[in-house]
């Protein structure tokens, strides 16, 4: 049986691993990605200074080396090959391409220059080939105050990276142009805004605590923001993880600022309602909120203005559709039952889904393993029952793409890129420096 996995993030690689690790059905898996490199958000979404989390790449890379698994990069579904053609080349297709688009705030002024999505900012500092270098290399050195909207781990990552010194980032695998840009940063104040309270935030304690450990940044929290209402206090008491977060925030509220050159202002019960400025954002109008008895949030009508020339929204990821395949526009996922893709309540033969495009952007990296295994179980059950379709293209995907002049990056090509990045890092005393330019990646891949 030949299976195509579309997307080489953790979900896709865990699905491939589950397929080749079982012994009931011999399987060959092609992991297809539009980028010349694997690992998805592990490479381009996890902050480079979180070395321990990014090290999961080593585990994922071992799967790519397993017999029966191939990486095929630099292939865009819908451009280089249609979904119908892909389905005609394989017995089954597992869609694991994630949720890479951002959600918007939906407020006036959001389209001003200087207002950016966290997905775009993170992609830039991680060295994504499609990142808008000009935009961020212009914005970062000319900003003095930044507002980050959101209280998840991505928002905390963005806040921490903006508040760190270049010396604290220099050992990471950030591209050199990113480090050079941060070296020219004039940002002295970073505001982290959450529309709910400390007990409702979704960051993890380890990531949160790091904000209070930076070399040149004080963390400022008001007593009012650190004080819980009755319902939030009960929640913090009942749930240990929430209680740990609240304890960190309340300890910050008791600190005396040390006069460091940068300041992180953590604000809860605050939401932006408008961005203003003459071409570029210069002011964020923030409304004070309060929690409702039902667990929601509502505005109080009390507003303040925060001067900021950079606003980063981090309010969630959303999935995007693929041509000719069903898509739930409300939930931004591909509809499924037990991983089997559904159209009008009927399973599409041989089409499966796993990861964020299956369930939405929830959970941690490890969550994707269990999710992928569940989808593979459905696929294998269908194989056992004889319900998988028979592919019509006996030549296979590579022949089809070769006829179209598509430059495929195979596993050996990725290994060559991997070695080139390590060699580049060694020139500056680092373990690795990310190669960000697509043509440079393709050139490295061909130097096998």
Which tens digit of pLDDT belongs to each residue from 151-207?
Answer: 899 999 999 999 999 999 999 999 999 999 999 999 999 999 999 999 999 888 999
Domain 103-313 CATH assignment equals 3.10.180.10: no
Task: Give percent of the chain above pLDDT 90.
Answer: 87
Question: Average pLDDT, whole number, for the chain?
Answer: 94
- Pair of tokens at residue 397: 């995907």
Q: Where are the domains of the chain?
A: 2-100+319-409, 103-313
Task: Say what the pLDDT of residue 99 is.
Answer: 78
Instruction: Of 307, 306, 310, 341, give the one whose Cα is nearest residue 326.
Output: 341
Are the CB atoms for 195 and 289 separated by under 8 Å?
yes
Q: For 80-123, how does the pLDDT look when each residue is reduced to its tens digit (9 = 90+)?
A: 999 999 999 999 999 999 877 788 999 999 999 999 999 999 99
Q: Is the dihedral of CA 157, 248, 265, 302 positive or negative?
A: positive
Are the CB atoms for 145 and 310 separated by under 8 Å?
yes
Name 103's Cβ contacts closer than 8 Å, sequence gap at least 6.
313, 315, 316, 317, 318
Same fold, 2-100+319-409 and 103-313: no
The model's pTM: 0.93
More confident: 361 or 379: 379
- Judged against a pLDDT cut of 90, whether residue 421 lies above it is answered with yes
Task: Kindly state the greatest CA–CA separation across the chain.
Answer: 70
Are the CB atoms for 361 and 371 separated by under 8 Å?
no
- Judged against a pLDDT cut of 90, whether residue 404 lies above it is answered with yes
Q: Helices 240-253 and 230-238 sit at what angle, rounded to 10 degrees?
A: 120
- Judged against a pLDDT cut of 70, whether residue 355 lies above it is answered with yes
- Pair of tokens at residue 28: 């060959």
May I ask the CATH class of domain 2-100+319-409?
A: alpha beta
Name 250's Cβ contacts closer than 8 Å, sequence gap at least 6.
198, 226
């Amino acid at each position: 049986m030949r299976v195509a996995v579309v997307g080489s993030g953790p979900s896709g690689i865990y699905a491939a691993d589950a397929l080749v690790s079982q012994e009931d059905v011999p399987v060959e898996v092609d992991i297809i990605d539009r980028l010349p490199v694997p690992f998805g958000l592990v490479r381009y979404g996890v902050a480079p200074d979180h070395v321990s989390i990014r090290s999961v790449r080593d585990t994922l890379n071992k799967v790519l080396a397993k017999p029966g698994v191939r990486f095929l990069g630099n292939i865009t579904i819908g451009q280089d090959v249609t979904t119908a053609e892909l389905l005609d080349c394989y017995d089954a297709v597992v869609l694991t391409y994630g949720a890479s688009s951002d959600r918007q705030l939906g407020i006036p002024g959001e389209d001003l220059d200087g207002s950016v999505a966290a997905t775009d900012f993170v992609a830039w500092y991680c060295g994504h080939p499609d990142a808008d270098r000009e935009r961020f290399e212009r914005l970062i050195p000319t900003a003095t105050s930044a507002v980050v909207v959101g209280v998840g781990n991505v928002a905390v990552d963005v806040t921490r990276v903006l508040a760190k010194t270049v010396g604290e980032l220099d050992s990471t695998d950030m591209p050199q142009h990113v480090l050079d840009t941060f070296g020219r940063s004039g940002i002295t104040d970073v505001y982290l805004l959450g529309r709910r309270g400390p007990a409702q935030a979704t960051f993890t304690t380890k990531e949160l605590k790091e904000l209070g450990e930076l070399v040149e940044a004080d963390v400022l929290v008001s007593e009012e923001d650190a004080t819980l209402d009755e319902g939030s206090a009960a929640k913090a008491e009942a749930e240990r993880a929430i209680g740990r977060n609240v304890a960190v925030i309340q300890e910050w509220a008791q600190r005396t600022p040390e006069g460091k050159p940068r300041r992180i202002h953590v604000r809860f019960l605050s939401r932006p309602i408008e961005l203003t400025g003459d071409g570029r954002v210069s002011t964020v109008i923030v409304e004070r909120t309060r929690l409702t008895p039902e667990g929601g949030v509502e505005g109080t009508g009390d507003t303040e203005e925060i001067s900021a020339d950079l606003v980063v929204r981090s309010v969630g990821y959303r999935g995007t559709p693929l041509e000719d395949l069903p898509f739930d526009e409300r939930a931004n996922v591909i509809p499924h039952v037990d991983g089997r893709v559904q159209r009008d309540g009927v399973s599409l033969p041989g089409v499966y889904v796993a990861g964020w495009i299956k369930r939405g952007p929830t959970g941690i990296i490890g969550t994707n393993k269990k999710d992928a295994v569940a989808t593979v179980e459905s696929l294998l059950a269908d194989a056992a029952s004889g319900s998988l379709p028979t592919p019509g293209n006996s030549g296979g995907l590579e022949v089809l793409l070769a006829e179209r002049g598509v430059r495929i990056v195979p596993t050996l090509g990725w290994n060559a890129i991997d070695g080139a990045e390590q060699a580049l890092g060694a020139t500056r005393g680092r373990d690795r420096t990310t190669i960000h330019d697509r043509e440079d990646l393709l050139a490295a891949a061909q130097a096998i």
